Amino acid sequence: MSETDFVSRDIRSGRLDQIDYDSNFEDLHAPLNHHEAVVEAERCYFCYDAPCMTACPTSIDIPLFIRQISVDNPIGSAKTILNQNILGGMCARVCPTETLCEEVCVREEAEGKPVKIGQLQRYATDHLMAETNEHPFKRAASTGKRVAVVGGGPAGLSCAHRLAMHGHDVVIFEAREKSGGLNEHGIAAYKTTHNFAQLEVEFVLGIGGIKIEHGKALGAAINLTALREEYDAVFLGLGLGNTNGLGLTGEDNDGCLDAVDYIEKLRQTDDLSTLEVGRDVVVIGGGMTAIDIAIQTKLLGAENVTIAYRRGQEAMNASLYEQELAQTHGVVIRHWLQPKALISNDQNQITGIELEYTAQTNDKLEGTGETVKLEADQVFKAIGQKFDSSTLSDAGIDLEARRIKVNEKGKTSLSKVWAGGDCVAGGEDLTVASVEDGKVAAQDIHSFLSR
């Protein structure tokens, strides 16, 4: 769209003083101190058949680890957590506990104030990582078997660690120059501070028997056929490589941006003041990425940030807690609006967006024809990611719903190949779910290698 309803643009860096950048991107939640952790732990009823444990994708024994905190045994508590979830430190920071363990907490049901399970988990795992240099798990004697893990994100790291515990040698092939996947590149900076993602990668590697080769992308430096020939087994933790587009004219214009790419840039910069952000920002989407980019542009100094979502509040993938977090940061969330046209000036720069009101009739979402125009220096696309299957096109692997088809143990249609995380059909787009996928697949790979 070439009309110039809005002609002024204000995109620049250095909108804030350095002290504001530092405070804005500090920990979202201050970690519990010893006294706070013990007091909070004593709120737990230590339920038999605890619903919180059932709600945890990795089946952490939550009552046990909380009881261990209550008797001043944080190291033992951390081991209980990490035995089921080796990335328990990161999950304590980024898990949507409000829709998982804490949502079903008996105290939540009774009084609307659940035990702070996520913060207690962080207290225990942080304590272990800070207080001991010894890895909590011992590596079994070497089996002589070699496994290739493609992707150094949560699924790949979880799989590699469990395989190493069983004595297998693992090589992780990671396309980027830093491992961690979305934990390193895609999660809001205020949720995981002080380089924690890399500290956790180093912690995982501490068990031994795991080597990482960076800059090795599937379909470029490596291919699946060769990996199957060279290694005894292969695990694919590829994540989602592509993002969905708006399908509008002008999508390539200056100012129409991929939210995931911007978050990665933000996460990897050493100086937040160098990041350019608009005065007026519009985010399209209703999931966690939309919330994360909206809050972070606001924290970078954007004056007006609006999330536009095509359905109602109850349909948003982002939890109510995350929606409220955005609103408390000054983000406006507008529902029942879908993008209709991007507005650009004569220099092919985004200056606004036209949105169409929507309505749902008989389970079908339709535009009403009524529109509204918003001024926007930047429009961020946060409408989901999709799996790039082109790197597997010659491998003959079965797909389902455009992702890798696996059974309940992560086994693909190809011999010696397993997969897990976001790249598989039914992937839940949660760090904790990816960790579980990697762990389950590793156990099945170990059974296969032990025949």
**Separation CA 430–CA 21 (nearest Å):** 28
Place of tokens 């390193």: 184
pLDDT of residue 448: 98
* Torsion of Cα atoms, 225 then 227 then 230 then 235, to 10°: -130
pLDDT of residue 391: 84
Comparing 222-231, 257-266, 391-400, the range with the smallest average pLDDT is 391-400
Angle subtended at Cα 443 by Cα 67 and Cα 161, rounded to the nearest 5 degrees:
70
pLDDT of residue 431: 94
pLDDT of residue 388: 87
State which fold the 146-241+387-449 domain adopts: FAD/NAD(P)-binding domain (3.50.50)
pLDDT of residue 1: 41
Q: What pLDDT digit, counting tens, does each position of 304-338 carry?
A: 999 999 999 999 999 999 999 999 999 999 999 99
pLDDT of residue 389: 87
pLDDT band at 2, cuts 50/70/90? very low
Residue 40 host element (H or E): helix 34-41
Using a pLDDT cut of 90, give the percent of the chain over it. 90
pLDDT of residue 234: 98
pLDDT at 428 exceeding the cut of 90:
no
CATH architecture of 11-25+243-384: 3-Layer(bba) Sandwich (3.50)
Q: Please tell me which residue, 33 or 1, carries the higher pLDDT value.
A: 33
Domain residue spans of the chain:
11-25+243-384, 34-131, 146-241+387-449
Question: Nearest 5°: phi and psi at 123?
Answer: -55, -45
What is the average pLDDT score of the chain? 95
Using a pLDDT cut of 70, give the percent of the chain over it. 98
What region, left, alpha or beta, does residue 344 occupy, with left being phi > 0 and alpha being psi -120 to 50 degrees? beta
**Smallest Cα–Cα separation from 163: which of 232, 81, 90?**
232
pLDDT of residue 5: 57
pLDDT of residue 298: 98
Q: The domain 34-131: what is its CATH number? A: 1.10.1060.10
Instruction: Give me the mean pLDDT over the 336-350 stretch.
Output: 96
Q: What pLDDT digit, counting tens, does each position of 148-193 carry?
A: 999 999 999 999 999 999 999 999 999 999 999 999 999 999 999 9
**Separation CA 396–CA 78 (nearest Å):** 42
Token pair belonging to 267: 């996460």
Instruction: Give me the mean pLDDT over the 57-61 stretch.
Output: 97
pLDDT band at 395, cuts 50/70/90? confident
pLDDT of residue 184: 94
pLDDT at 245 exceeding the cut of 70:
yes
- Measured in whole angstroms, the distance separating CA 188 from the mean position of its chain's CA atoms is 9
11-25+243-384 shares its CATH topology with 34-131: no
Instruction: Give me the mean pLDDT over the 76-95 stretch.
Output: 97
Instruction: Give me the mean pLDDT over the 138-145 stretch.
Output: 96
DSSP secondary-structure letter at 227? H
